[in-house]
Structure 1
């Protein structure tokens, strides 16, 4: 797991309740800023499909 660096949503206000995202050749990584020691890994294609379905309203997020 070699992430290039964590990015934080521009919708995140000041504080420790933000989602951070990172990516490398192995996949997409997510963590919460208040608990950065816990990381969730998702494969690229399924994560892309999930985001597209959320944007299209197929999944109620």
Structure 2
């Protein structure tokens, strides 16, 4: 039996009803991300790839193809 995930909202989600939020939960070495308005859709990763993605986004070096 698995332990239920404890979800945390992003500090950038703003106020209001909280319907437009990015939420994060951790379990062992996995990090789970979801949008609050689509909670059944999860993105699961580990710390290193998420750190690389966030670093790239913050640097502004992400390009579209």
- Equivalences for residues 27-46 of structure 1 within 5 A: 27-46=30-49
Q: Paired residue for 2:9?
A: 8
Q: Structure 1 unaligned runs (5+)? A: none
Deviation at residue 47 of structure 1 after TM alignment: 0.9
Number of aligned residue pairs: 60
CA RMSD of aligned residues (A): 2.1
4+ aligned runs moved over 3 Å, structure 1: 1-4
Q: Structure 2 unaligned runs (5+)? A: none
Q: Paired residue for 1:47?
A: 50
Deviation at residue 2 of structure 1 after TM alignment: 4.7
Q: Deviations over 1:15-54 (max 9, x none)?
A: 3111101122231111111121221101221111111111
| Residues 17, 33 of structure 1: 8 Å contact kept | yes
* TM-score relative to the length of structure 1: 0.73
* TM-score relative to the length of structure 2: 0.70
